[in-house]
Each structure stands twice: as structure tokens, then as C-alpha cells.
């Protein structure tokens, strides 16, 4: 059996450091002894949340996404805020901020590499069940894009049709809704705990257990 090529990094330089992402340029050893440039967008880990009610309806939020210059319907999602924040911690925060909800049950639906040919970003998509609304008198604020964020509840089967007909375009939203629809067939019996280790990477560092 032929041994796999190692793709050693011969040199690496920092190209850009932004508020959220960084870019580095690597010189990588290729099979045959040549080397090639590989530019990598470094992003912190992120979470998406499929918030599913007992009646089979899921929460979608609509917000402006500047790179594509339009508003998209999506599941709640967001970046990890710190290296110590776990996926469930981030999921609970985002569900509170974007949906005004809390959940009593959390499971992992899927882990996805959003664009592994150019970025190290890993997103964990969680299933949140046992939903309750935040009390009206509880402190709850919406900032920036969240200030005009729309919310809507849609039937899970209908939301899957929206994925297939092009109504929904956000990648993590499509992955989460399709995974939730499949998982429902087994009454969610095969899902991993939300605390399952993952391979998230924060810009400039790596981790094996992903508990960041």
C-alpha cells in the first residue's frame, strides 16, 4: 500500500489579521518534490442551532449578509466568543440573542467544514428542543443586525422543501435542516451529545479535543 504524502509546510507568512478572520499563505511540499502556494482563511469555530418545537416547527431568522448583499433566512448561528466557550455555551447564547428562547435538550446534529479548500472553519450544528420563551420582564437586548432581525416558525418538512427549491441558500442552514429531518426518522436516537469533542480551530492555534 502506497504511503500517503505528508504535504509538509515549508514556509508560512501572515497576510492579514482582521477583527474576525485572518489569512496566511503557506508554501506546501507537493508530491514529486515541487512546492505550491496555499492561502488559508483562518476562522474561529461557530455553531448553528436547529430549534425544533414539539409541533414540528423550526425557527428561522432573516438578516442582512453583506458579502452577498442581501437578506437571508437562516437558522440561528454565531461564532464562538472565546477560546473557553463550548459549542453548547455558544448555542445557548445565540438562541437567546436571536430567538429569545431557551432549550432544555441539546444534541449534536452534524459537524461541517464550510470550505476546506480555502478555510479551516468548522461549524457544529446543534439540535435544541424543549423550547421556552424568555420572560418579557427579563433583560434582553438586540444589537446591530439583530435589531432588525425577523423571526418565523416553519414546518420542518416545508423548510426542507425550501432547501431543495432554492428558497434557503445558507449552507449551514441547509445542512442543519436536512440533518434534523433525517434524525427525526429515528426519533433522534442516533444523535451525539452536544458535549461530544470536535475539531474546531481558532485562528493561529489548533486543538484535538475542540473544547474551546
Q: Are strands 22-29 and 150-155 parallel, antiparallel or unpaired?
A: unpaired
CA-to-CA distance for 47 and 76, rounded, in angstroms? Answer: 9
CB 121 within 8 A of CB 41: yes
Q: Are strands 22-29 and 9-17 parallel, antiparallel or unpaired?
A: antiparallel
Q: So which residues are the catalytic ones?
A: 146
DSSP labels, the chain: -PPPP---EEEEEEEEE-SS-EEEEEEEEPTTS-EEEEEEEE---EEEEEEB-TTSEEEEEEEEEGGGTEEEEE--EEE--STT--HHHHHHHHHHHHHSEEEEEEEEEEEEES-TTTB--EEEEEEEEEEEEPPTTS-----GGGGG-EEEEEEHHHHHHHHHHTS---HHHHHHHHHHHHHHHTTTTTPEETT-------TT---SS---
Amino acid at each position: 500500500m502506497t504511503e500517503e504524502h505528508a504535504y509538509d509546510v515549508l514556509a508560512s507568512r501572515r497576510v492579514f489579521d482582521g477583527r474576525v478572520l485572518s489569512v496566511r499563505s503557506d508554501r506546501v511540499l507537493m508530491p514529486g518534490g515541487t512546492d505550491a502556494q496555499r492561502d488559508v482563511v483562518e476562522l474561529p469555530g461557530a455553531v448553528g442551532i436547529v430549534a425544533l418545537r414539539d409541533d414540528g416547527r423550526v425557527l428561522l431568522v432573516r438578516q442582512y449578509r453583506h458579502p452577498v448583499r442581501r437578506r437571508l433566512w437562516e437558522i440561528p448561528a454565531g461564532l464562538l466568543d472565546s477560546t473557553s466557550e463550548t459549542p453548547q455555551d455558544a448555542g445557548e447564547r445565540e438562541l437567546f440573542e436571536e430567538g429569545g428562547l431557551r432549550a432544555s435538550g441539546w444534541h449534536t446534529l452534524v459537524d461541517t467544514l464550510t470550505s476546506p479548500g480555502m478555510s479551516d472553519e468548522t461549524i457544529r450544528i446543534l439540535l435544541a428542543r424543549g423550547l421556552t420563551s424568555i420572560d418579557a420582564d427579563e433583560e434582553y437586548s438586540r444589537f446591530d443586525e439583530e435589531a432588525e432581525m425577523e423571526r418565523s416558525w416553519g414546518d420542518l418538512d416545508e423548510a426542507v422543501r425550501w432547501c431543495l427549491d432554492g428558497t434557503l441558500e445558507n449552507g449551514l442552514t441547509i445542512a442543519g435542516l436536512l440533518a434534523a429531518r433525517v434524525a427525526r426518522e429515528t426519533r433522534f436516537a442516533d444523535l451525539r451529545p452536544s458535549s461530544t469533542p470536535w475539531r474546531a480551530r481558532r485562528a493561529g492555534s489548533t486543538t484535538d479535543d475542540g473544547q474551546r
